[in-house]
């Protein structure tokens, strides 16, 4: 079982992606952005390898205006060396990558121009995967599209327009149920007709079910029948409902007990793409929780990243977690992550925030300049009096962490959660 996340990272330096407006999309600007984004992707792949993450969705924003006439740069040739190097890392790590075009890539639209743009966008995604040297197991995930007041006709349009795709795109394309228009039963029927794999999304099925008498395990098994050997292991999407937001909204993090209950009921050879707001943080959590290598050092490393966030929310739970990790012969992974999440859900107080801030300030108080010390004390005073926000304090400390290259803090989640 491979567990992964989509597109972006949380708390990992130099992994963001840049873009620009159409009016600024000249050749020089586009070349600069592409080079920057490829470096970010390379850093993400390095991070994934370091953290044993074997499943990853590459952002569609990697190449700005990649499927638009606005960008006529043969980027696959100009950046051949960089792209090939990234691809080699991915293959050597046995990492499976995929891509997922956005909501405007609609293959079943009644508008011919929209369909043509969708085909070009799919070609662009396929070119990225080809340029990386990926095989047929690296998939492009697509939703069916709109209903356009006639679902039967819209489905026929999808089936018909699929025939217009290049062979390489056909071999990579997989389709997924959504939470608004096409349920898993309908998508399975389309997949069987076109003989292409179907990705099951559990949250979409909760919101827009086909048959409520059938559970997730039933549909996962049905979808598995659409995956051929050449397509690689079956892949599913897993997410949890954000209880405070609209139906279908992804949660901020994966609640680990709920996830563990889910995977106990499915084949352990399935690849699971997490769709969750804290991205890699949940991926690492789920990988650590399912790992056969139960090393306390793994949790100690995680603790080093979370500890000041925990202190910010609850000194009591901070001490509980420290106590939990004292026994070096045990691996209390579920309890550890449950305490982390429970604590992060506790409302911060001024006292706890100041306590955490002062612990972090301890890294700088002996090396900072007099001006920096004065500024920090003034920010702290203003925060305690309600004149400044917590963010102003943390932004200042972040700048100091960068200036003094304090890697322990830079690699923590303190500035990102």
Cβ-based burial of 236 (10 A; exposed 0-12, middle 13-18, buried ≥19)? buried
In the chain, where the domains are located: 3-290, 296-410
The pLDDT of residue 376 is 97
CA-nearest of 203, 272, 277 to 241 is 203
Three-class DSSP category at 133: coil
Residue 12 main-chain phi, psi, to 5 deg: -120, 120
Cβ-based burial of 128 (10 A; exposed 0-12, middle 13-18, buried ≥19)? buried
Tally the C-alpha atoms within 13 A of residue 8's C-alpha that lie toward its C-beta.
10
Q: How many helices (H) and strands (E) does the chain have?
A: 18, 8
The pLDDT of residue 268 is 87
53 Cβ contact list (under 8 Å, min separation 6): 3, 4, 5, 47, 95, 280, 283, 284, 287
Instruction: Write out the two tokens for 357.
Output: 């801030």
For 68, other C-beta atoms within 10 Å of its C-beta total 15
For 63, other C-beta atoms within 10 Å of its C-beta total 24
pTM: 0.95
Three-class DSSP category at 298: helix
Per DSSP, helices labelled H in 18-79 are: 27-50, 75-78
* Residues of the chain falling short of pLDDT 50: none
Strands 235-238 and 198-201: parallel
The pLDDT of residue 344 is 97
Q: Residue 237 forms beta bridges with which residues?
A: 201, 273
CATH classification (class only), 3-290: alpha beta
* CA separation, residue 160 to residues 156, 163, 194, 197, 299 (Å): 6, 6, 10, 17, 51
Distance CA 151, CA 137 (A): 30
| Interval 221-257: pLDDT, tens | 999 999 999 999 999 999 999 998 999 999 999 999 9
176 Cβ contact list (under 8 Å, min separation 6): 141, 142, 143, 187, 198, 199, 200, 201, 204, 237
Distance CA 304, CA 308 (A): 8
| Residue-wise DSSP of 336-393 | HHHHHHHHHTSPP-HHHHHHHHHHHHTTTTTTS-HHHHHHHHHHHHHHHTTSS-HHHH
Contact 19, 42 (CB under 8 A): no
| Interval 7-47: pLDDT, tens | 999 999 999 999 999 999 999 999 999 999 999 999 999 99
> E-strand spans in 216-265?
235-238
Per DSSP, helices labelled H in 183-237 are: 184-194, 202-207, 216-224
């Amino acid at each position: 079982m491979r567990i992964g996340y989509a597109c972006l990272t949380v708390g990992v330096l130099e992994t963001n992606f840049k873009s620009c407006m159409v009016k600024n999309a000249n050749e020089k600007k586009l070349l600069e952005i592409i080079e920057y984004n490829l470096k970010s992707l390379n850093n993400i792949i390095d991070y994934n390898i370091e953290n044993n993450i074997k499943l990853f969705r590459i952002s569609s924003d990697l190449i700005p205006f990649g499927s638009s006439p606005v960008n006529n740069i043969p980027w696959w040739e100009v950046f051949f060396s960089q792209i090939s190097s990234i691809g080699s890392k991915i293959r050597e790590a046995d990492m499976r990558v995929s891509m997922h075009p956005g909501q405007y890539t609609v293959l079943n639209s009644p508008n011919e121009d929209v369909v043509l743009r969708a085909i070009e966008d799919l070609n662009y995604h396929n070119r990225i995967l080809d340029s990386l040297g990926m095989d047929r197991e690296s998939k492009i995930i697509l939703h069916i599209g709109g209903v356009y007041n006639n679902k039967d006709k819209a489905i026929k349009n999808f089936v018909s327009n699929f025939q217009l795709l290049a062979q390489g795109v056909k071999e990579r394309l997989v389709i997924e149920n959504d939470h608004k228009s096409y349920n898993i039963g309908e998508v399975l029927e389309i997949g069987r007709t076109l003989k292409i794999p179907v990705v099951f999304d559990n949250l979409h099925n909760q919101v827009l079910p086909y048959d409520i008498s059938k559970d997730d395990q039933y549909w996962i098994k049905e979808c598995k029948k659409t995956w051929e050997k050449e397509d690689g292991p079956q892949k599913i999407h897993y997410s949890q409902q954000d209880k405070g937001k609209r139906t279908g909204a992804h949660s901020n993090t994966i609640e680990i007990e709920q996830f563990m209950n889910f995977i106990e009921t499915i084949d352990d050879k399935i690849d699971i793409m997490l769709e969750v707001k804290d991205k890699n943080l949940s991926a690492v959590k789920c990988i650590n929780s399912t790992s056969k290598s139960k090393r306390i050092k793994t949790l100690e490393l995680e603790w080093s990243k979370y500890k000041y966030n925990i202190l910010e929310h609850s000194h009591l739970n901070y001490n509980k977690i420290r106590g939990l990790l004292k026994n070096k012969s045990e691996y209390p992974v579920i309890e550890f992550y449950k305490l982390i999440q429970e604590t992060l859900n506790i409302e911060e107080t001024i006292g706890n925030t100041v306590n955490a801030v002062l612990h972090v300030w301890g890294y700088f108080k002996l090396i900072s300049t007099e001006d920096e010390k004065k500024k920090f004390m003034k920010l702290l005073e203003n925060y305690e009096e309600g004149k400044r926000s917590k963010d102003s304090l943390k932004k200042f400390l972040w700048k100091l962490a960068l200036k003094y290259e304090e890697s322990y803090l830079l690699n923590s989640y303190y500035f990102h959660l």
